[in-house]
Amino acid sequence: MAFENYPEAEQTPLQQKTVVTTKKNNLPAIITAILVVALLGTWGYIIYDKNQTKTVIDQKETMIATTSTQRDQLQKELEDAALRYDILKTSNSKKDSSITVKDREIDEKKTRIQELLSKSNATQSELAEAKRLISSLNGDIDGYKEQVAVLQQQKTQLISEKAVVVSQRDKVQRNYDSSTLVIKQKEDIINVGSTLHASNFNIVGIHEKKSGKEKTTSTAKRVDKLRISFDLDENMLSESGAKEIYVCITAPDGSPIAVQALGSGTFNTRLGEEKPYTQKLDVNYTQNKKQSVSFDWKQGTNFTTGNYKIEVYNNGFKVGEGYKPLRKGGLFG
């Protein structure tokens, strides 16, 4: 097909003016459309950005709520573990070195966990550490519980063993006390049985002459001293050796004669009474042999008329007595 180029018809001035006028009339509409599109785009961006911000806020709120829930749950787990631990500590009155070390370790973990949970802005990493420490704490408490159980078992066994030992000790003590009582009773019997007995009293008044010679007399004013003699009878239970013999002289008026400067003093009788003695004699006694004892009492003052009583004591018992009457002298007494 052949194409031919025809010359365009030339536009008239009226046509050209119409085109220019049409273009001028469309320009405001185009600008308005552009502004509308821009405004819609701005609103769309604002709406999108607001939605994005809300999403972030919701996510943060969800995260905060989740974190708070986790912290509350972990706090409860910590309190439960602490309660179990306190109960175990209360029930365990006995402490050894291993329990003491475990106490220190558990207290340190409790302190660290509480520090983490007390943070208002605790991170997930910190909460994870707290959770791990609580798990470890529960394991420690379980181990602590086992140790306490072992100690309680040992304590129960020791109490049982102690009860047996105490029972055996008490039995031995009773046997010992019984034996001691029997021994003491026998010793008392032997002691009483070994008490010496005095007999054959002979009491005379002695007048010492200027020449040195002595003369017996019963006249009170002429008596310078009393010569007292008696026998200690045979005794199979009394062992040989020194025996303490107390001689008590009572004056006619009933007063005891005791001159401390001359060796007088006091002793206790078997009745627990304190009694003054006139003279203490240390006698070397031979078992199961009769033995004579003699001594002179010179009191340094005049003897008075009346009946003098002489008592002899051994082992706190009165073992014999004798009397010596001294009379008033006559014209030449």
Helical H segments across 118-256, by residue range = 124-193
| Of the candidate ranges 175-189, 243-257, 274-288, the one whose mean pLDDT is the lowest | 175-189
User: Once rounded to an integer, what is the mean pLDDT over residues 185-201?
Assistant: 86
- For the record, the structure tokens of 332 come out as 């030449």
CB atoms within 10 A of CB 117: 19
Query: Measured in whole angstroms, how far is the alpha carbon of residue 254 from the centre of its chain?
Result: 60
Q: Which of 40-54, 141-155, 281-295 is most confident?
A: 281-295
Angle between helices 124-193 and 13-91 in degrees, nearest 10: 0
CA 320, 298, 256: angle at the middle one, nearest 5? 50
Task: Please name each of the domains of the chain with its CATH number.
Answer: 35-193 (no CATH), 198-326 (2.60.40.10)
Q: Please list the residues that pair with 199 across neighbouring strands.
A: 231
Residue 318: DSSP 8-state:
E
Which residue in 133, 72, 112 sits closest to 64, CA to CA?
72
Distance from C-alpha of 85 to C-alpha of 80, rounded to nearest angstrom: 9
R_g of the chain computed on alpha carbons: 64
pLDDT band at 1 (very low <50, low <70, confident <90, very high): very low
User: What distances in angstroms separate CA 94 from CA 104, 145, 148, 151, 160, one per listed residue?
Assistant: 16, 13, 9, 7, 16
pTM passes above 0.85: no
- What pLDDT digit, counting tens, does each position of 275-312 carry? 999 999 999 999 999 999 999 999 878 999 999 999 99
- For the record, the structure tokens of 255 come out as 């007063």
Output 295 or 138, whichever has higher pLDDT: 295
Contact call for residues 213 and 259 (beta carbons, < 8 A): no
Side chain identity at 181, as an amino acid letter? L
